[in-house]
Amino acid sequence: MSEISRISDQLRRAINGEAWHGPAVMEALKDVTAEQAHKKPIESAHSIWEIVLHITAWHQAVTQRLEGYVVELSSEEDWPPVRSDSKDAWNSVLKLLNESGENLLKKVSSLSDSDLDKTVAGRNHTIYFQLHGLIQHDLYHAGQIAILKKG
């Protein structure tokens, strides 16, 4: 198995499931309602909704970086505001998260092992480092979602 295949597998597990540690992002979001997603059980923490928008932003940013674009997220792009707390808006946010994950996985799967040592456009780190960082990022936030669901 190639290294890019291993990384793709780990990324898929972090996003969609079958990770050994516990729930992945999409598993943690299963059955979360718009009301739950918007709720802030810890006042100073982000809501599930905000975390989902943040994860989506980073899936999109890393996909663009892998396509050779220099991407720097502003504060609002990094943590986009929740513009509506309706059920339809929540379903749209979940759909966008799913699409961003699929697009990212498709892009990563198109890479070769030799691409992993290339420097990310506009950054001082490699694609290998970027992808492992994104996997860690997704799992960190999946844990936050799991805790917030209990609140």
Strand partners, 119: 126
Place of tokens 């050994």: 20
Helix (H, G, I), strand (E, B) or coil at 117: helix
| Domain residue limits, the chain | 3-149
Q: Given this structure, which CATH class describes domain 3-149?
A: mainly alpha
CA proximity to 58, closest of 112, 6, 131: 131
Quote the pLDDT of residue 149: 93
Query: Which tens digit of pLDDT belongs to each residue from 2-30?
Result: 999 999 999 999 999 998 888 999 999 99
Query: Which tens digit of pLDDT belongs to each residue from 51-103?
Result: 999 999 999 999 999 999 999 999 999 999 999 999 999 999 999 999 999 99
Residue 112 has pLDDT above 80, yes or no: yes
Instruction: Give the pLDDT band of residue 117 (cuts 50, 70, 90).
Output: very high
Quick one: 146 exposed, middle or buried, by C-beta within 10 A (0-12, 13-18, 19+)? middle
Q: What is the pTM of this model?
A: 0.96
Query: Which tens digit of pLDDT belongs to each residue from 134-149?
Result: 999 999 999 999 999 9
